[in-house]
Amino acid sequence: MSAEENIDVSIHNRLHPPMDPVPPDRSLADCPHPEGRSDDIPGKDLRQAEVFLKGEISGHKGIFAEGRPETPGYNFAYLDEQTKRMLRRAILKAVAVPGCQVPFGGREMPMPYGWGTGGIQVSAAIMGKNDVLKVIDQGSDDTTNAVSIRSFFRRVAGIPVTTSTGEATIIQTRHRIPEHPLREGQIIVYQVPVPEPLRWMEPSEKETRTMHALEEYGVMHVKLYEDIARHGEIATSYDYPVMVGGRYVMSPSPLPKFDNPKMHQSPALQLFGAGREKRVYAVPPYTDVRSLDFEDYPFSVQHWDKPCGICGSTDTYLDEIITDDKGTRLYVCSDTDHCAARLASRKDKRGGPDD
């Protein structure tokens, strides 16, 4: 065994000493591991399961679940048609004026505010029978929120769901843009907690609307100035303000600034839904998205000294996971699907699904 293989495999083995056989429900995307385990990390099941599936990068296709008959008593995709129309009108306006916050008549959803009510309403409004849905929460396909929303739409819309970024047509996300580049025709729906980027500086809604209308964005730089004055660098690491299409300053929701460059000239349509504040906004495909910065403190993204502990990736966004009581740390890709795909391609090259 080479040294490189040694590192990967040893970490992998330490986490899951006996490699499980594929459980019979492995193909169900909305099924987390049946019993919780002390060594559970986000995406663990997915990372294991991927190895045995076929797909575009390597034989990797993600976990896929066929649609199932819609639950009777619900309209397609839960919302009634009039509500969806209202939402689509708001979305069209948002697409027409990139980065501008458009109010909509938010509905009560069967979940609390802060869990993605805005994103779910936008997804429901744009969803068709032929769509394939992927839901991620902090990059992971198998955390509670992602699993719940996926199973919700599978039940009320009967559409197939997947974990593969490449296969999905609608990707609802909280906190991350997938590492796998998006393509034309895909729509990424963000769940947004605080849509107003000026809110931290200016508490008055009337005033912030005026500031947007008159393009008075100097105060955004005051926030960045404060960062540099206090921390010696722009310490804002998520929800980093961006200028969309050279006109509107927009909050990219709690996206890590690592993902900001991916929004720039993205071929996919990006929709943002804030359920509590009842606002949608959008970045149409191929739109300029610039992160604000200073001439002498240019925008930069996070980087890590270590590669991903599972797939060895050095160019992805890593989560830090504390694995025991002694403070041992493991850095793994936050995008579980991407991590699994890389792992699968490595194993394919080695010529076997398992070591």
Partner 1 sequence: MTEPAAVGFAIPSASPFAGIRDAKAPPPADRPSPNQGLLYVEGVGKYYGDRIGCKDVSFDLWPGEVLAIVGESGSGKSTLLNLVCGRMVPTSGKVRYRESSGDLFDVHKLPEASRRRLLRTEWGYVHQNPRDGLRMRVSAGGNIGERLMACGSRHYGNIRKTGVSWLDRVEIDADRIDDVPVSYSGGMQQRLQIARNLVSAPRLVFMDEPTGGLDVSVQARLLDLIRTLVREMGLSVVLVTHDLAVARLLAHRLMVMRRGEVVESGLADQVLDDPRHEYTQLLVSSVLQG
Residues with catalytic function: 99, 308, 311, 333, 339
* Nearest to partner 1 of 35, 296 (CB atom): 296
Question: Among 225, 306, 320, 350, which residue sits at the site for partner 1 (rule: CB under 8 A)?
Answer: 225
Report the residue count for the chain: 355
Question: Residues 50 to 109: which contact partner 1 by CB under 8 A?
Answer: none
Q: Give dist(CA 268, CA 123) in Å, integer.
A: 15
Shortest distance (Å) from residue 100 CB to partner 1: 17
Phi, psi of 148 (to 5 degrees): -65, -45
Span of 113-121, 170-178, 215-223, 333-341 interacting with partner 1 by CB under 8 A: 215-223
Span of 47-55, 139-147, 166-174, 289-297 interacting with partner 1 by CB under 8 A: 289-297
Q: Give dist(CA 317, CA 335) in Å, integer.
A: 8
216 binds partner 1 (CB under 8 A): yes
User: Do the Cβ atoms of 208 and 196 come closer than 8 Å?
Assistant: yes
Q: What's the alpha-carbon Rg for the chain, to the nearest Å?
A: 21
Span of 94-102, 153-161, 279-287, 292-300 interacting with partner 1 by CB under 8 A: 292-300
1 binds partner 1 (CB under 8 A): no
Shortest distance (Å) from residue 292 CB to partner 1: 9
Alpha helices in 97-193 (DSSP H): 117-126, 144-156
Question: Which tokens hold the place of 124?
Answer: 């429901």
Q: Give dist(CA 118, CA 132) in Å, integer.
A: 19
Partners of residue 291 on adjacent β-strands: 242
* Nearest to partner 1 of 57, 194 (CB atom): 194
Binding mask 293-332 for partner 1 (x = CB under 8 A): -xxxx-----------------------------------
Partners of residue 151 on adjacent β-strands: none
Shortest distance (Å) from residue 46 CB to partner 1: 42
* Nearest to partner 1 of 76, 200 (CB atom): 200
CA distances for 287 relative to 150, 251, 270, 279, 338, angstroms: 29, 15, 10, 20, 25
Phi, psi of 223 (to 5 degrees): -65, -45
Question: Residues 173 to 202: which contact partner 1 by CB under 8 A?
Answer: 201
* Nearest to partner 1 of 80, 215 (CB atom): 215
Phi, psi of 278 (to 5 degrees): 55, 55
Site residues for partner 1 per CB under 8 A: 201, 210, 214, 216, 218-219, 221-222, 225-226, 228-230, 294-297
